[in-house]
């Protein structure tokens, strides 16, 4: 396996994050062979906790790829954190504004450069009472349609024991986490299709079912239907990544 080559600030991020992950987690990892060793890929994890981006990033890094996460642009305005996010080539998105179009172009650029781009299709931590996936937003599907990059599902379970979004309780204790990647989701039936609302919705449903079923394997249980996210005021961010 070719050694992952990192820039200075990427090495700094690894030095900051890895000790935290070793202190707080033990791991079961599977399916890393499903993440392409090189070239563009869109990685779509479930979202059970605000802590799981670190868990997923650790997994992807140990799969010999550098993860480029899509995140809320407000984080880029936080001192130090925003600087590190820029230097480690993460991708900000401005939700609910025309700036979301620029975010999509930044994602396209990251994919066409051969990056491993990470998008949480749910857009936020799941609101399902038992932390099963919700229906997704269409950004990952749109990116796949525009770039033709493979979409690889990732399922993570365990980060919620460190930070549970249902209670907002943080427990800094060593916790076992499980992460697995599945085979690329078959989206070939939509190849070359126009990005209509119907096409993007169907693609997103297929992506989320792939993530849900992968999570069911980890949890060893029968998955429920995709959860309908709580109703909210419509905004222009619905199709944002």
pLDDT digits (tens, 9 = 90+) for 120-170: 999 999 999 999 999 999 999 999 999 999 999 999 999 999 999 999 999
Check residues 104 and 216 and name the one with the higher pLDDT.
216
Q: Is 229 inside any structural domain?
A: no
What pLDDT score does 94 carry? 76
Confidence band of 73 (pLDDT split at 50, 70, 90)? confident
* Contact by Cβ (8 Å): 219, 133: no
- Residue 236 pLDDT > 80: no
Q: Is 103 inside any structural domain?
A: yes
Confidence band of 241 (pLDDT split at 50, 70, 90)? low
What pLDDT score does 100 carry? 67
Q: Is 232 inside any structural domain?
A: no
What pLDDT score does 72 carry? 85
What pLDDT score does 117 carry? 97
pLDDT digits (tens, 9 = 90+) for 13-54: 999 999 999 999 999 999 999 999 999 999 999 999 999 999
Residues 6+ apart with CB under 8 A from 113: 40
Q: Is 239 inside any structural domain?
A: no
* Contact by Cβ (8 Å): 125, 165: yes
What pLDDT score does 240 carry? 47
Q: Is 226 inside any structural domain?
A: no
As given in the structure block, the two tokens for residue 6 are 């990192």
**What average pLDDT does this structure show over 192-220?**
97
Residues 6+ apart with CB under 8 A from 37: 1, 2, 64, 65
**Number of structural domains the chain divides into:** 1
Domain housing 145: 8-32+41-166+176-219
Q: Is 193 inside any structural domain?
A: yes
What pLDDT score does 206 carry? 98
Minimum mean pLDDT among 82-86, 104-108, 145-149, 236-240: which range? 236-240
Q: Is 210 inside any structural domain?
A: yes
What pLDDT score does 233 carry? 46
pLDDT averaged over every residue in the chain: 92
What percent of the chain lies above the pLDDT cut of 70? 92
Looking up residue 17, the CATH number of its domain turns out to be 3.40.1130.10
What pLDDT score does 96 carry? 60
What pLDDT score does 227 carry? 96
What pLDDT score does 153 carry? 98
- Residue 196 pLDDT > 70: yes
3-class secondary structure, 51: coil
């Amino acid at each position: 396996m070719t050694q992952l080559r990192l820039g200075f600030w990427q090495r700094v991020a690894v030095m900051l994050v890895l000790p935290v992950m070793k202190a707080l987690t033990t791991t079961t990892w599977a399916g890393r062979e499903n993440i392409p060793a090189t070239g563009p890929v869109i990685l779509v994890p479930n979202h059970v906790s605000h802590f799981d981006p670190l868990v997923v990033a650790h997994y992807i890094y140990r799969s010999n790829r550098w993860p480029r996460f899509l995140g809320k642009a407000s984080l880029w305005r936080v001192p130090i954190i925003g600087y590190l996010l820029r230097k480690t080539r993460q991708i900000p998105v401005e939700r609910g504004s025309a700036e979301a179009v620029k975010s999509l172009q930044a994602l396209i650029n990251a994919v066409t450069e051969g990056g491993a781009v990470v998008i949480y299709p749910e857009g936020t931590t799941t609101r399902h009472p038992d932390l099963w996936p919700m229906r997704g937003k269409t950004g990952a599907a749109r990116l796949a349609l525009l770039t033709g990059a493979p979409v690889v599902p990732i399922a993570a379970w365990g980060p919620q024991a460190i930070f549970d979004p249902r209670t907002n309780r943080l427990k800094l204790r060593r916790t076992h986490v499980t992460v697995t990647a599945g085979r690329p989701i078959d989206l070939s039936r939509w190849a070359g299709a126009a990005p209509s609302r119907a096409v993007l919705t169907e693609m997103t449903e297929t992506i989320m079912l792939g993530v849900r079923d992968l999570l069911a394997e980890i949890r060893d249980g029968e998955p429920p239907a995709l959860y309908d996210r709580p109703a909210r005021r419509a905004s222009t961010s619905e199709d944002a990544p």
